[in-house]
């Protein structure tokens, strides 16, 4: 994995887009003190290099019926490469799973699960997660209050 070097203008553009991806090239140019064409070209380069992976709308989970967030630790029974691959292929197909991280430590995976309520989580757990082969131990924690949510990475020049 290659670490790219960014100058201060790249950093500023990335910071602006992380906080509001709807900014126009002109607005970004105004905020960076650059003209529109170089800003446009930099954004296209950052997209082509894979630094900017896409643009998304952030939704209010309560208003779309996904008020309950659970972090679910999963330990598999067997850890062979095919079994890990099979689990990963299956888990990405489950719509309630928002994120899946392969971890070191006691548990193999950490899932972020978004559902309507505890009944929907029970359904997810019993009919989807537990139905997968090779599931060993599952431990869940439920979000009581979201204290901080940031999707913006801290950036500095030269990194």
- What token pair was written down for 87? 């689990």
pLDDT in tens, 7-33: 999 999 999 999 999 999 999 999 999
pLDDT in tens, 111-143: 999 999 999 999 999 999 999 999 999 999 999
Q: Which domains does the chain have, with CATH numbers?
A: 8-48 (1.10.10.10), 68-142 (3.30.70.920)
Residue whose entry in the numeric block shows the structure tokens 């972020």: 112
CA 109 to mean position of chain CA atoms: 15
Q: Which of 153, 146, 119 is nearest to 62 (CA)?
A: 146
Which pTM value belongs to this model? 0.88
The per-residue pLDDT for 5 is 84
- What token pair was written down for 103? 């971890």
């Amino acid at each position: 994995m290659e670490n790219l070097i960014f100058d201060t203008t790249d950093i500023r553009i990335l910071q602006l887009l992380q906080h509001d991806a709807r900014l126009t090239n002109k607005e970004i140019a105004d905020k960076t003190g650059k003209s529109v064409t170089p800003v446009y070209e930099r954004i296209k380069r950052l997209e082509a290099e894979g630094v900017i992976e896409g643009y998304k709308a952030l939704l209010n989970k309560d208003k779309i019926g996904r008020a309950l967030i659970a972090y679910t630790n999963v330990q598999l029974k067997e850890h062979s490469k095919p079994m890990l691959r099979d689990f990963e292929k299956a888990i990405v197909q489950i719509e309630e799973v928002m994120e899946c991280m392969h971890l070191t430590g006691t548990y193999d995976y950490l899932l972020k699960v978004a559902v309507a309520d505890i009944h929907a989580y029970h359904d997810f757990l019993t009919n989807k997660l537990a139905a997968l082969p090779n599931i060993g131990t599952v431990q869940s924690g439920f979000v009581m209050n979201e204290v901080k949510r940031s999707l913006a990475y801290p950036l500095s020049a030269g990194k």
